[in-house]
A and B are shown apart, each in its own frame.
Chain A
Amino acid sequence: MSTPRIFVPNDATAIACGADRVARAFADAFAARGIEAVIVRNGSRGLFWLEPLVEVETPAGRVGYGPVKASDVTGLLDAGFMDGKAHPLCVGVVEELPYLKKQTRLTFARCGIIDPLSLDDYKAHGGYLGLAKAVQIGPAATVEEVFQSGLRGRGGAGFPTGIKWRTVAATAADQKYIVCNADEGDSGTFADRLIMEADPFCLIEGMTIAGLAVGATKGYVYCRSEYPLSLVVMEKAIAIARKAGLLGDNILGSGLAFDMEMRMGAGAYVCGEETALLESLEGKRGVVRAKPPLPAIKGLFQKPTVINNLISLATVPVILEKGGAFYRDFGMGRSRGTMPIQLAGNIKYGGLFETAFGIPLGELVYDIGGGTASGRPVKAVQAGGPLGAYLPISQFDTPFDYEAFAAKDALIGHGGIVVFDDTADMAHMARFAMEFCAHESCGKCTPCRIGSTRGKETLDKIIAGERREANLAILTDLCQTMKLGSLCALGGFTPYPVISALTHFPEDFGAAPRLPAAAE
C-alpha cells in the first residue's frame, strides 16, 4: 500500500484561517505517533466556510474535515481521521458535497484536487492537452476555436475573447504580447487568486496557447500586490514549466517560442482597467489611455497585445481540449459557457461556485449560499464589485447573464456577489462608492476626478438632510455626467451602486418609507 496522503490547503483564505498552523500540528503529531503520511499542500476547492478543509485519501474517496483548528488535530487522529472515520468536523467524501456536485467545473476542474506545483498531477488531470491540440491544429484554427466557444471577457466588460485574438493575430509586428490581468481588485472576488494558488499551470497553459495562436512570444501576468502568495506560487510554477520545456524556445516541438513573467501591482485599483494596467507595466503612473488605438493594435510598449482577464485565459485550455462547441453548449443567450461566481460578504456558505450562465441570483444567495452568515434577513447584494449595482430581493429572479443584468442597470462584472443583511445602510454604501472612486481615480478625466469628490460631499448633505430634494437632483445629474463622460469604467460605473441604492432603498436616504404596494 502506498503512503497515505492528507491535504491541507496552501491557499490565502485557508492560511488566513490557520491552515499553516494546522499543517504544522499534523506534521508534529505524525512524528510523535510514528505515522507515515504525506502532507500535500493543495489549493482550495473554494468551499471557504469550511477552510481550513483538511482531506484524507481513503478507499471511499477523499474524506474532508473542516473548519479544522490546530487544536483539533489530536482529537481528529484519536477519532480515526487517517481512515476517514466520524468526527464532529467530518463532512464526508468531499466530492459528494452538494456545493461541489451542483457545480459545473470547467475552468476550476482541478482546483483543490491536485498539488498546484506538481506538473505530473496537472497532466494526470487533463493538463497540457489543450496546448497539444493547439500545436496540432495551428494558430489560425486555435483562434477560431476560441471564437467559436463564445468566451467573453471575464473581467466584466464581456467583450468576445476570440475577436481580440483575431485582431492581434491579423496585426503584423516584430513583437506582440500576451498580458494577463490578475489585478483582481473587486471586493467579493477571489477567482483569479484561486487559480493562481490552486492551479497555476492552467494559467500558464492558457497564456502559452494565446501566445502561439496570435504570434506573441512574451507574456506578463500583472498580479496585485495584495496577493503575495499567488505571486510566489506562480513564480515557482513558471520556473517548473520553463525547466520542463513548456515555456521557452520550442514549445512541444512546435518550433514556436513563448515565455512569461510575473509583475506586481502596487495597490492601485484603477490598474485593473486594461490601458492603465499597460501603463503600469511600462513603469508609469497607472493612468488610463484614451481608446483608440485599441491595445490589440497598439498595446504594451505600443505593440499589438492580447490583454485578457485571468479567468478568460485560464478557460482557454479546456476550450482547446474539449472544443469550442463543447464550451458554447453551456449557458444562456449570448453568455456562453460557465462563470465562476464568488459568494462573499455576509453569507453562510461563502466560496466559489462555477456554473453555467443562467442561474437566478436568488438561488445563488439562498439555495447555494444559505442566506446571511449573521442569520438576519438579506437586504441587498452588490454584484460585480465596487462599480456594480446593489440589487434588492425583488430582483433576485434575475438570471446570472451579462444581458439580463444590464437590462436591470446592473452588471455581473468579474462574478462577485457580496451579500448584506438588513443592518446595512444603503446611503452609507452609496457614499462609500463615491469615496472609493475618489480614492482610486487616476485623475485623467474630470467627471471621475472631480465628480467622485463632489458626489461624496453631496451624499453627505443628503444624509444630513440638508436641502434633500435639491441635492438629490444634483447627485442624479452628477451621476449621469460621470456615466456618460468618464474615460473608463471607474468613473463611468461608480454611478451604478449609487443610483441603484437610491432607487431601491430611498428610505435610507431620508425618504418616507414606501408602502408595500408601492414597492416594485
Chain B
Amino acid sequence: MHASGYEPWSAERAAQIIADHQHLAGATMPILHAVQEVFGFVPEPVVPMIAESLNLSRAEVHGVVTFYHDFRREPPGRHVIKLCAAEACQSMGSEALAAYAEQKLGLEMGETSADGRVTLEPIYCLGLCACAPSALIDGRLVGRLDRDTIDEIAAEAGR
C-alpha cells in the first residue's frame, strides 16, 4: 500500500484498466477502484477517459469520484494511517489516541505531511469493534491499538 509501490500516471495503462473492466454491469466503481489500486489515487485525466468509454458525461464520473470517501484526487503519503473514529472505538478511548497521533505526527486528521511521508485519516468502522480501538495502517489491520503502537508507526514514518 506504499505510494512507492504505485505506478506513475500512464494514459495507456489507464486505457487498459478501463478495457479490462468495461464489460461489467455498472462498471464505474470497479474501474475507479482498479485505477486507484494502480496509481494510488484517481488522476484527473482518467475521468474523461472513463466517461467516454462508458458513454457517460464527465460530470457524472466526476460526481461518482467525489461522492465516495475512498477515492483520492491527490496521491496519498507513503504511509497511510487510518484511525477508526466510530462509536465502539470512542468507547475505548480512540479520541485521545487520535489526538496523540496528531501531536506525534505533527498532522491533523485528513492531512498528508508536506514531505509526502505520511497521511493521517479517520475511518468509520473496520468491524473490529470487539477489540477496539482499531486502525488500518498501510493496509494492515491493527486491533487493541495503544500509544506504543502509534509510537512504532511514527518511528516507521520517520517522525
Contacts and interface: CB of A to CB of B under 8 A. Distances in A.
B92 interface: yes
B118 interface: no
Contacts of A266: 29, 32-33, 68-71
B124 A185 contact: yes
Contacts of A58: none
Interface string B1-40: 0000000000000000000000001111110110000000
Contacts of A371: none
Interface string A190-226: 1001000000000000000000000000000000011
B112 interface: no
Interface string A375-412: 00000001000100000000000000000000000000
Interface in A253-269: 263-269
Contacts of A190: 127-130
B87 A187 contact: yes
A48 interface: yes
A420 B131 contact: no
A418 B91 contact: yes
B147 interface: no
B132 interface: yes
Interface stretch (B97-105, B136-144, B151-159): B136-144
A12 B128 contact: yes
B91 A419 contact: yes
B91 A15 contact: no
Contacts of A416: 88, 129
Interface residues of B, number: 41
Nearest to A193: B127
A345 B32 contact: no
B141 A188 contact: no
A267 B25 CA distance: 20
B131 A346 contact: no
A17 B126 CA distance: 13
Interface in B37-74: 54, 60, 63-64, 67-71
Contacts of A344: 88, 129-130, 132
Nearest to A372: B91
A51 B29 contact: no
Contacts of A436: 86, 124
A440 B142 CA distance: 24
B127 A184 contact: yes
A16 B128 contact: yes
Contacts of B134: 16
B121 to A, nearest CB: 10
Contact of A345 (B30, B129, B143): B129
Contacts of A439: 124
Contacts of A269: 124
B107 interface: no
A265 B67 CA distance: 12
Given A187-B87, A226-B126, A424-B91, A267 B70 contact: yes
A347 B63 CA distance: 41
A488 B22 CA distance: 32
Interface stretch (A82-90, A121-129, A282-290): A282-290
Contacts of A343: 130
A406 to B, nearest CB: 21
Interface string A330-359: 000000000000111111001100000000
Given A48-B131, A301-B25, A268 B92 contact: no
A432 B131 contact: no
Given A263-B29, A266-B29, A342-B130, A285 B141 contact: no
A269 B67 CA distance: 11
A99 interface: no
Given A12-B141, A280-B29, A187 B88 contact: yes
Contacts of B30: 263-264
A55 interface: no
The CB with the most chain B CB atoms within 10 A, among A17, A226, A285, A347, is that of A226
Most chain A CB atoms below 10 A, which of B70, B87, B134 = B87
A351 B143 contact: no
Contacts of B67: 268, 285-287, 442
B88 A283 contact: no
Cβ-closest 10 pairs across A and B:
A350-B130, A283-B28, A187-B86, A16-B143, A344-B129, A266-B68, A48-B130, A267-B69, A345-B91, A283-B26
Given A17-B144, A344-B88, A416-B88, 15 more contacts: A12-B127, A12-B141, A16-B143, A17-B143, A48-B131, A187-B124, A188-B129, A189-B127, A264-B30, A267-B124, A301-B26, A344-B132, A345-B129, A346-B132, A418-B91
Interface of A: 12-13, 15-17, 48-49, 51, 184-190, 193, 225-229, 263-269, 280-287, 301, 342-347, 350-351, 373, 382, 386, 416, 418-421, 424, 429, 432, 436, 439-440, 442
Interface of B: 25-30, 32-33, 54, 60, 63-64, 67-71, 86-92, 123-132, 134, 136, 139, 141-144
24 contacts: A12-B128, A13-B127, A13-B131, A16-B134, A16-B142, A49-B130, A185-B124, A189-B129, A190-B127, A264-B29, A268-B67, A281-B26, A284-B63, A285-B63, A286-B67, A342-B129, A343-B130, A344-B88, A344-B130, A344-B132, A345-B132, A386-B86, A386-B87, A418-B88
